[in-house]
Chain A
Amino acid sequence: MTATTVQQGQGGRPTPLTFYQGTPGHRIYQVLGWGLLVVPMVVLPYVLPGFRVSQMAQAIGWAIAILGMNLVIGYSGLISLGHIAFTGLGAYLTATLINESNWDMWMTLPVVFVACFVFGALIGLPALKIRGLYLALVTLALAYTFPILTKIEGGGIDKRTGGDNGRTLSEVLAPPGWARSLLGINDKTPPQQEAIYKYVCFVVLAVACFWIVRNLMKSEPGRAMLAIRDNQIGAAVSGVNLNRHKVTTFAVSAGVAGIGGSMIAVALNSVGPTSFDANYAILTLMGLVVGGVATQHGCWIGGLVVVFLQDFAPRAVGRFDVDVVYARALFGVALVLIAFFAPGGIVSLALKVKRKVVTVLPAVPDPSGGKAWVPAGAGRQAGATKAATRLDTLAGAGLAFGFVSLLVPFFVNPMITLVPAAAAVGLGVSRESGSSPGLSRGASVLGFFGMVVGVVAVLARISPH
Chain B
Amino acid sequence: MKPSEKRIWGREHRMTAVATSPKASTVKRMFTGSGLLVTLAVALTLFLIPQILTNSFPQLFLQRLFDSFTNGAAYAVTAISLVLIFKATTLINFAQANIGMFGAYFVFQFVTHNNWPVVAGIIVAMVLMALGSAGIERVLVRPFDPNDHLPVVLITFGLASIFEAVAGGVWGLEFHAFQSPFPAKPEDFVSIAGARLRYDTIGTLFVMFLMIGFLFALLNRTKVGLSFRAVSSNVESARLVGVRTGRTLQFGWALAGALGALGAALVANKTQLEPAFMAKLVIFAFAAAVLGGLDSIGGSVIAAFIVAAIQSLVTGYAQNYAALGWLKSNFALVLAFVVILVVLLVKPNGLYGTKRIERV
User: What is A's interface to B at a CB cutoff of 8 Å?
Assistant: 73, 79, 81, 125-126, 129-134, 136-138, 140-142, 144-145, 148-149, 151-155, 157-158, 232-233, 236, 242, 282, 285, 289, 293, 322-323, 325-336, 338-340, 343
Contact = CB atoms under 8 A, between A and B. Distances in A.
B341 A155 contact: no
B32 to A, nearest CB: 13
B168 A130 contact: no
Contacts of A140: 94, 283, 286
Interface residues of B, number: 49
Interface string B158-196: 111111111011000100000000000000000000000
Dominant secondary structure of chain A at its interface with chain B: helix
Contacts of A333: 158, 162
A403 to B, nearest CB: 37
Given A133-B90, A155-B326, A325-B169, A144 B158 contact: no
Nearest to A328: B165
Central interface residue in B90, B286, B331, B334, by most chain A CB within 10 Å: B334
A151 B325 CA distance: 13
Contacts of A326: 165-166, 169
Contacts, number: 143
Contact of A131 (B151, B157, B358): B358
B157 A285 contact: yes
B161 A329 contact: yes
Nearest to A233: B360
A321 to B, nearest CB: 12
A137 B260 CA distance: 18
Given A129-B345, A141-B336, A336-B159, A154 B326 contact: yes
3 A-B pairs with least C-beta separation: A335-B158, A332-B161, A332-B162
Contacts of B168: 325, 328
Given A79-B149, A332-B161, 4 more contacts: A129-B345, A132-B149, A158-B326, A282-B157
B56 interface: no
B92 A137 contact: yes
Contacts of A144: 283, 333, 337
B153 A136 contact: yes
Contacts of B123: none
A336 B155 contact: yes
Contact of A148 (B157, B169, B331): B331
B330 A151 contact: yes
A336 B140 CA distance: 8
B302 interface: no
A94 to B, nearest CB: 23
A73 B360 CA distance: 20
Nearest to A334: B158
B165 A329 contact: yes
11 contacts: A137-B290, A141-B283, A157-B326, A232-B360, A289-B150, A325-B165, A328-B165, A329-B165, A333-B158, A335-B157, A339-B155
